[in-house]
Amino acid sequence: MKKEELNLKQIEQKAYRVSFQDGLVEIMLGILLIGLGATFGSVLYVFAIFIPIFLFPRFIEVIRKRYTYPRIGYAKLPMDDPKKTAKGIFGYTAVVLALWVICFLLFSKVKDAAAYKRWSPALMGVLLVGGFLYAHGKSGNIRYIVFAVLAVVSGLLFSIMNFESYNGLIINFFVMGGIFIVTGSTLFILFLYKHPKPAEEV
């Protein structure tokens, strides 16, 4: 990588770190996971997946216009190609699911429904890793690596505990969601404290 490209990459990562230091993304992710846990197994589960995808970005933008931008200013960050992003998401998910099935072929029975239910929290953790690695690549923030490790450890823990049916997955949704809400809220409070709103000029 050329020095100019490296410098541009560092500048872009710094811009993303500054823009996402308010913790709002973590709060919304926590709400999403808790919503998935609360609606799992019902018709509302589909809505809990797709509605936040369309509403949360607008909701975050409204909050940032009120609390974030007046404190640190506004910068329009370069957006990735939506088609490329979608391909990346579906590609990562397909690879994880394929490896998931291969593991069952090697170490268990493919038709063993109980095994799928037991290890579903681990699958959830690995799927979350893709998003955290993407966020780390964009921002360079080490906390997303910590989130990735936490997601895997939590998923494995709730899988090993061998809850009945999908209870381990549901509890994992709530636990991870709670962690992200607490983390995001803490970051938001620290952000408001670190960047007091400038006094309005008369």
- Say how far apart CA 101 and CA 95 lie, in whole Å: 10
Per residue in 141-186, pLDDT (tens digit) is 899 999 999 999 999 999 998 887 889 999 999 999 999 999 999 9
Name the nearest CA neighbour of 24 among 191, 178, 199.
Answer: 191
Kindly report the three-state secondary structure assignment for every residue of 15-62. Answer: HHHHHCCCCHHHHHHHHHHHHHHHHCCCCHHHHHHHHHHHHHHHHHHH
Q: How many other β-carbons are positioned within 10 Å of the β-carbon of residue 168?
A: 24
Buried b (16+ CB within 10 A) or exposed e, 77-86: eeeeeeeeee
Q: How many other β-carbons are positioned within 10 Å of the β-carbon of residue 69?
A: 15
What pLDDT does residue 6 have?
53
* Of the candidate ranges 30-34, 83-87, 120-124, the one whose mean pLDDT is the lowest: 83-87
Name the nearest CA neighbour of 157 among 173, 168, 146.
Answer: 168
For tokens 């072929």, name the residue: 105
SS3 106: helix
Per residue in 109-148, pLDDT (tens digit) is 656 778 888 888 999 999 999 989 988 888 888 999 999 9
What pLDDT does residue 199 have?
62
What pLDDT does residue 202 have?
44
What pLDDT does residue 70 have?
85
Per residue in 91-103, pLDDT (tens digit) is 888 888 888 888 8
Long-range contacts from 146-152, C-beta under 8 angstroms, 24+ separation: 147/180, 150/176, 150/179, 151/124, 151/125, 151/126, 151/176, 152/122, 152/125, 152/126
SS3 171: helix
